[in-house]
């Protein structure tokens, strides 16, 4: 091959390379992992729900100071004799408890988890394990 023909082939090849590299520069992808930072979503952050205490007394459950008070409360509710003033409180919020002892399905002595000095009796049946649906 002669020199002028060789130079023209070389010039043609370098021109093709320049055009090819310009075309390939248009296909640069900047979404590779770790190359760009992901922007966080606007709004409140996701917060996991706190696990619920179990066993617990639900809203409306009665907590009586003594077993005798629990018996008087039951008599008052049934409108039978043996009732009278019962030292009981109605739960206004779900309250975690620890079971101290059971005397049948309707008499359970419990200790309030948040206030260990508070021990009382309830007529609510408290299973040992939480229901599986919750």
The DSSP string of 51-112 is: PPPSSEEPTT-EEESSHHHHHHHHHHHHT-TT-----EEE-SS-EEEEEEEESSTT-EEEEE
Indicate if the pLDDT at residue 5 is higher than 60: yes
Does residue 67 lie in a domain region?
yes
Does residue 66 lie in a domain region?
yes
Does residue 76 lie in a domain region?
yes
User: Using alpha carbons only, what angle is made at residue 79 by residues 74 and 82, rounded to the nearest 5 degrees?
Assistant: 65
**Could you give the number of structural domains in the chain?**
1
Condensed to tens digits (0 to 9), the pLDDT of residues 93-105 reads 999 999 999 998 8
Structure tokens, 64: 């009586």
Range of the domain at 91: 56-122
pLDDT score recorded for residue 124: 93
In the DSSP assignment, the letter for residue 117 is T
Does residue 132 lie in a domain region?
no
Does residue 93 lie in a domain region?
yes
pTM: predicted TM-score of the whole model, two decimal places: 0.60
- The phi, psi pair for 98, rounded to 5°, reads -120, 135
């Amino acid at each position: 091959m002669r020199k002028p023909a060789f130079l023209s082939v070389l010039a043609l090849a370098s021109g093709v390379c320049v055009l090819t590299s310009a075309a390939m520069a248009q296909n640069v992808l900047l979404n590779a992992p770790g190359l760009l930072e992901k922007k966080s979503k606007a709004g409140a952050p996701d917060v996991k729900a706190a696990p619920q205490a179990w066993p617990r007394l639900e809203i409306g459950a009665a907590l009586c100071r003594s077993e005798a008070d629990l018996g008087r409360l039951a008599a008052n509710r049934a409108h039978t004799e043996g009732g009278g003033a019962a030292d009981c409180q109605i739960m206004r919020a779900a309250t975690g408890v620890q079971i101290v002892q059971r005397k049948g399905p309707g008499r359970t002595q419990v200790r309030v988890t948040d206030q260990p000095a508070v021990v009382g009796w309830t007529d609510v049946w408290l299973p040992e394990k939480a229901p599986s649906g919750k």
